[in-house]
Amino acid sequence: MSHLPRRSATIPARPRLFRLTVAALAAGTAIGIGAVAPPTAAAETVVPLDRCWGLSPNIVDQPFSTARLFVSPNGRGRVTAAVRDISSFWTPTGGYQSAGRLDWHNVSTGKKGVAFNTAQIRLFVGGPTFRLDTGPGTVRVSFSAVNRNALWAIPSTSCSGTMRVG
C-alpha cells in the first residue's frame, strides 16, 4: 500500500482561476489589437505576369525574378503598381539598383503610357513602384528592368500581364 496522498478528481480553484484570467486577457488583447491595428490593404490585388528573369549584377546572388505586380487603387482610373519579389544577399555592400520600366496600354480606351522607377534592392524583398494614370478599363502591362551595381548593368527579360482598373 502506498502512503502517497490520493489525487483529487477536481481541479483546485486557483489553477482554474488562473486559466480563466489568461483566457480573458488573451481575448481582450485580441479585441484591442483588432480595434487599434491599421486596416489591411484589402483593396490591393495581385496581377500575375509572365516570369521576368535576369542575373543580379552581383552575379553570385539571387537571380532577378518576378512574376506579379501588387496593385492598389489610387483614385478613379489611377493605381499604384509595385514589384516586391526581388532581393539580394549583398545587403552589406548596398545590394544593387533596379531601374524598372512599366509600359501600359488601356485596351478599353486606347490610352498608352510608360512609367519609370528606380529602387535599391537589398535582402528584404522590394522593387520599383509605379504610379499610373491609365483611366478605367482593361490595361495590358509589360515590365522590364536594368539592374546595376558599380561595375556593370544587366537587363532583365520583360514580362507582361493584364489588370482591371476601376
pLDDT value, residue 16: 67
Delineate the domains of the chain, giving CATH numbers in brackets. 45-165 (2.60.40.10)
Please give the average per-residue pLDDT across 6-27, as a whole number.
Answer: 54
* Nearest CA among 109, 122, 114, 35 for reference residue 76: 109
| 80-137 tens-digit pLDDT | 999 999 999 998 888 999 999 999 999 999 999 999 999 999 998 889 999 999 999 9
Arithmetic mean of pLDDT over the chain: 85
Q: pTM, whole model, 2 decimals?
A: 0.74
**How far is Cα 155 from Cα 144, in angstroms, rounded to an integer?**
8
pLDDT value, residue 26: 47
**Sheet strands (E) in the chain:** 45-54, 64-73, 78-82, 96-106, 112-121, 129-133, 137-148, 153-155, 159-165
**C-alpha distances out from residue 24 to 9, 13, 128, Å:** 25, 16, 45
Q: C-alpha grid cell for residue 6?
A: 490520493
Cα 43 to its chain centre, rounded Å, is 13
